[in-house]
Amino acid sequence: MLTRRRILAGLVALTALAVAAPTLAGRRDSKPAHEQALGQLINNVRYGQDNTALTFLDGPLQGPVLLGDAWGKGTAEQQAEFIKLFHHLFAAVAFPKMRDSFQHLTTVTYDAPKAAGDRVEVGSVLHIQAGPKEQELKLVYSLSKAADGALKVVDVTIVGEASMLASIRDDQITPIMAEGGWPKLLELLRARAKDLPAIVDQPLKK
């Protein structure tokens, strides 16, 4: 799972935020709240703090997007295990690729955030230097907003394409659920997770 090009394109999109956010989680800066939340996620990935980076993803909201109507048919235990396994695979497969992508990014611009209840959408344009030509990529980030105002990342969409989570759902999860439902999905996720390294925070270089 998590191997399709469209999914990785979404991850490269997330990587762009590192250009505009040089601080690690826990340090205050003057950027707007949405830029801080996105930057904290990405800079933790950038510096190998993968376990901490996962705390900036909203798993309970990602689950219903990834499984659609099937999400509500799972038990609380199944839902919790799915989020844990999905984040394990996501971090093990995607985060290293994101780190490799930093060298190709130049600048990032943001639109004003659009808030609706407990959700926030942020448009962005990133500039990628691919050989002699510079390319532009237009994105929309979907964030959740907790009662205390804390923001977490739910999804990212390249304008004109399906979102990252929708791509994973349609290309990979839906066929598995059709074949064997929750038991089959969790069985495959467990097997894949066993082959991947544990997700930890690496020691920071001084």
Contacts of 166 (CB under 8 A, 6+ apart): 65, 155
In tens digits, the chain (206 residues) has pLDDT values of: 544 444 444 554 454 444 444 444 444 457 888 888 877 887 888 788 999 999 999 999 999 999 999 999 999 999 999 999 999 999 999 888 887 776 677 777 888 999 999 999 999 887 878 778 888 888 899 999 998 889 999 999 999 999 999 999 999 999 999 999 999 999 999 999 999 999 999 988 76
Go through the chain and tell me how many residues it has. 206
- Give the pLDDT of residue 124: 87
Delimit the domains of the chain by residue range: 5-194
- Give the pLDDT of residue 135: 81
Cβ(152)–Cβ(158) under 8 Å? Answer: no
Cβ(142)–Cβ(157) under 8 Å? Answer: yes
- Give the pLDDT of residue 18: 40
Q: Strands 114-116 and 151-158, how do they pair?
A: unpaired
- Give the pLDDT of residue 129: 80
Alpha helices by DSSP H, listed for the chain, are: 5-15, 33-46, 50-53, 59-67, 76-101, 164-168, 174-194
Distance CA 95, CA 66 (A): 19
Q: Which of 139, 113, 111, 114 is nearest to 126 (CA)?
A: 139
In order of 9, 33, 72, the CA distances from 132 in angstroms are 20, 35, 49
Domain 5-194 -> CATH class? alpha beta
Distance CA 64, CA 61 (A): 6
